[in-house]
Structure 1
Amino acid sequence: MSPERRVLVHADKETLAAAVAARFVRKVRDLIEEFDEATVVLTGGSMGIAALAAINSSPDRDSIDWSRVNVWWGDERWLPKADDERNEKQAREALLDHVPLDPRRVHAFPSSDEGLDLDAAARSYADELVAAAPRNASLPHFDITFLGMGPDGHIASLFPGHPGIRVTEETVIAVRNSPKPPPERLSLTLPVINSSARVWAVVAGSDKASALGLTLADASIDEVPAAGVEGRRRTLFFVDGDAAAEVPENLIDPGQFWTGADE
């Protein structure tokens, strides 16, 4: 495992979500102080949303200047805008609707009831990425990209055995025949995810233990897409004890020597 990839184990899901929230608040505050803005990519799933809810309930939540935060998503379910299963809606209910974000900085994926077909929606989000990129760049500068991980090792909507995990020429793909409902989705591609300065994977539950072990053993990305994740500066796996069952002890970071520069 690369020295830039670390595993931080927490006792249970609640402690895990609170630890992610505390680190997020601290890091985003520092990024805004240094660069005048911070750009984050959100994920769905139970732990992704739990982390956002923990940020919302953090006593330090309002120490962030939320008007300087840019928000994107790593993937989305191809559903109507108001559908309870959309990652966007869940994120808004957990956090985004409770903080004073600038609506112009919130970049949700198109929904199935906005007049676009799935392929056009993928192109639309790809165009939005280009439009938000700094001069001479093809993507925005992502500071933190959140990921969940399925029991099969999938990340975003990049699934084992599906061609999407090997796409490199596109930034956003239309996903069909997803093994997990709904069958149609939109997803950033692996190179876009890995363009982020920091990738934070939040993983909990004994059903994730095998996939996490294979991820850290550098399994084939065709079999375990999460094995291909590597942020430009840091890749952190925030996990609970159940998910860490198959992680070798030498890969678990004790956390005691961490500094702000490590984040």
Structure 2
Amino acid sequence: MKRRVVVLPDAEAVAETAAARLLTAIADSLTVEDRVHVVLTGGTVGIATLAAVAKSPLRESIDWTSVHVWWGDERFVAAGDPDRNEGQAQDALLRHVPLPEENIHRMGDSDAYPSAEAAAAAYHGEIADHGNPQWDVLMLGLGPDGHVASLFPQHEGFTQATASVIAVHDSPKPPPTRVSLGLSAITRARQVWVVAAGEGKAEAVRDCLAGNESYPGAVVHGTEGTLWLVDAAAAAKA
């Protein structure tokens, strides 16, 4: 499985590079496909990437009506809660581009669903309703513990779940209840991109790149390519 690691000077450079690559990947895919499916991530670098996309002049070259946006994970809290990834993405990018509302596939919130299991089942159904797309680009942040999406080391969501969308309880990182794509959904993406910045991620980056499969970040990959975009601080121990 081809994996490329790109080391950049700082977090800002990671976000700017990821944004430029994302816009280019979308534009390239639209030359051969009728629609493109992109999976977004939250986190500091993930949201900074979306903000950089919104500011890039390259965004004007994209037919946003042909782009579908999904999420790798979401916090199962009330609609409008600032912890929700989709709200942060809305502010950073989605309200700045002519993306049809029906192309934005949000994971369910605790106002709309009685449980994370119900929200996960609904998201699984929405994915199926759209033909179980092979994501063109799936972006992931990396936690200092090596987690990606809401798949945490030594947690049953990572070690036991095989479903494409799962409910996560007792998350080691608050809030404790979440919805996440499972590994089976993540690893069907054509391109998986992992973004990480800061010295606090250095040990996780080192262990994941070394292939320590006890870390979720070590086992995610795309069917056509896997790209790690990390800053110098995060790469310091690799």
Fold conserved (TM > 0.5)?
yes
Match of 1:100 among 92, 98, 106: 98
For the 8 Å contact 2:142–2:196, the answer to whether it is kept is: yes
1:197 aligns with 2:193: no
Q: Distance in 2 between matches of 1:115 and 1:60?
A: 37
For the 8 Å contact 1:167–1:189, the answer to whether it is kept is: no
Equivalent position amino acid for 2:124 in 1 = A
Q: Give per-residue Cα distances to partners, 1:223-249, cap 9 Å, x unaligned.
A: x110111110010000101001122xx
Match of 1:131 among 129, 134, 137: 129
1:163 aligns with 2:174: no
Aligned equivalent of 2:221: 230
Q: Once the two structures are aligned, what percentage of the paired residues are identical? A: 47
Task: Could you tell me which runs of 5 or more consecutive residues in structure 2 were left unpaired when the two chains were aligned.
Answer: none
Q: Distance in 2 between matches of 1:94 and 1:143?
A: 21
Match of 2:63 among 62, 65, 69: 65
Q: Give per-residue Cα distances to partners, 1:97-148, cap 9 Å, x unaligned.
A: 1100121111100000114322111111111111111xxxxx2120000000
What is the CA-CA distance between 1:68 and the residue it aligns to? 0.5
For the 8 Å contact 2:137–2:192, the answer to whether it is kept is: yes
For the 8 Å contact 2:144–2:201, the answer to whether it is kept is: yes
Aligned length: 238
Task: Could you tell me which runs of 5 or more consecutive residues in structure 1 were left unpaired when the two chains were aligned.
Answer: 134-138, 248-263
Aligned equivalent of 1:8: 6
Q: CA RMSD in A?
A: 1.1
Q: Distance in 1 between matches of 2:71 and 2:30?
A: 20
Q: Distance in 1 between matches of 2:168 and 2:157?
A: 7
For the 8 Å contact 2:42–2:141, the answer to whether it is kept is: yes
Matched residue SS, 1:34: coil
Q: Give per-residue Cα distances to partners, 1:195-225, cap 9 Å, x unaligned.
A: 000001111000111111100111023xx11
For the 8 Å contact 2:162–2:183, the answer to whether it is kept is: no
Aligned equivalent of 2:114: 116
What is the CA-CA distance between 1:167 and the residue it aligns to? 4.1
Q: Give per-residue Cα distances to partners, 1:133-181, cap 9 Å, x unaligned.
A: 1xxxxx2120000000000000000001101113453111110000100
For the 8 Å contact 1:81–1:113, the answer to whether it is kept is: yes
Query: What TM-score results when the alignment is normalised by the length of structure 2?
Result: 0.97
For the 8 Å contact 1:167–1:190, the answer to whether it is kept is: no
Q: Distance in 2 between matches of 1:40 and 1:117?
A: 26
What is the CA-CA distance between 1:62 and the residue it aligns to? 1.1
Q: Distance in 1 between matches of 2:173 and 2:82?
A: 16
Query: What TM-score results when the alignment is normalised by the length of structure 1?
Result: 0.88
Q: Distance in 2 between matches of 1:169 and 1:16?
A: 31
1:173 aligns with 2:171: no
Q: Distance in 1 between matches of 2:213 and 2:35?
A: 36
For the 8 Å contact 2:54–2:92, the answer to whether it is kept is: yes
Q: Give per-residue Cα distances to partners, 1:80-113, cap 9 Å, x unaligned.
A: 1111110000000000111001211111000001
Equivalent position amino acid for 2:106 in 1 = A
What is the CA-CA distance between 1:26 and the residue it aligns to? 1.1
For the 8 Å contact 1:147–1:199, the answer to whether it is kept is: yes
Matched residue SS, 1:177: coil
Aligned equivalent of 1:255: none
Q: Give per-residue Cα distances to partners, 1:1-56, cap 9 Å, x unaligned.
A: x4x11100111111111111111111101111211211100111101101000101
Aligned equivalent of 2:177: 184
Aligned equivalent of 1:56: 54
Match of 1:24 among 5, 22, 25: 22
The structure 1 segments of at least 4 consecutive aligned residues displaced by more than 6 Å after TM superposition are none
